[in-house]
Amino acid sequence: MRTVDAAGLPIGDDYPPRIMGVLNVSKESPYDPSVYDDPEAAAAYVDSELIGEGADIVDVGLESANKDLDVLSADQERERLQTAIDTIERVEGEAVFSIETRYSEVADEALAAGFDMVNDICGFADPEMPAVCEAHDVAVAKMASPPDLERPGAIESVDDIYDALSLHGFTDKTIVDPAFGGWSTEKTLADDRETFDRLREFRGYGYPMLVSINRKNFLREVAGRDTAGALPVSLAATAMAVERGAHVVRTHDVAETRDAALIGHEFTPDRTHTSHIEQLDVTTLPAAMRHADRLGA
């Protein structure tokens, strides 16, 4: 398992789990507490509610990825980018700033203006995205998605996640995201449960892993909770996800998620690795085959 350097923040097995807090500059985003269109207010939110509560990374979204909404063009995302840039320039705390976008030209502009990494929810559906990230020498979170810029995360089965993640390859600083959530009408809560159950398998490419499970429907259903009441199930799942190999947890509930992630990390079995030996998380035959393929066995 490689370690990824995200603007000086090491991400990997040898380091504590990293917490990614969320800021949206998109008025259509559904989680109101994270939505701002005024840079001063947005920066204050980042300092107090995200960095102040333990976020290592601040992920700034320019548009909602809700499948029921129209997709913005790259030019439309650019119109919102200045608000994001003005915000991070006003933030007083220290964090890695991530721009969430599916477009390589938007990523290029954001990185040139001070952002530190990219969160590509379309998983390199834009084939120029890897080159842009490599040119800026930045980390990039790559979410499992079909080769379609308008359908982030819309994979049809859990077995398709590996093929989706391999789309247009990897950079040296890729972080993989197996895409939890209702990204398409075909995807079910059972699919998310299976993805979570098989989470260790997605270490099979040897890159650090990001999970976004905060208050997700597949967890809420278990306890019969609505979004407002779903924090406890999210925290339980966070500890389990870290124990199963997640390195970055994306969340709106920073302080609580940080604590849950640290508990998961504390009780994660040590994975021995040297220059010649790597102890793998293998509990099923498919997981063993994924690791064998990666190692060329």
Question: Domains of the chain, with CATH numbers?
Answer: 4-295 (3.20.20.20)
pLDDT for 170: 96
Query: How far apart, in whole angstroms, are the C-alpha atoms of residue 233 and residue 254?
Result: 15
Taking alpha carbons only, the member of 178, 220, 185 closest to residue 202 is 178
Residue 204: what residue type?
G
pLDDT for 7: 97
User: By three-state DSSP, how is residue 16 classified?
Assistant: coil
Q: Which residues of the chain have pLDDT under 70?
A: 28-34, 66-68, 272-281, 294-297
As to burial, measured by CB atoms within 10 angstroms (0-12 exposed, 13-18 middle, 19+ buried), residue 271 is: middle
Residues in Cβ contact with 228 at an 8 Å cutoff, skipping those fewer than 6 apart: none
Query: How far apart, in whole angstroms, are the C-alpha atoms of residue 142 and residue 248?
Result: 12
> What are the residue ranges of helices labelled H in 34-127?
39-45, 74-90, 104-112
Q: Is the pTM of this model over 0.75?
A: yes
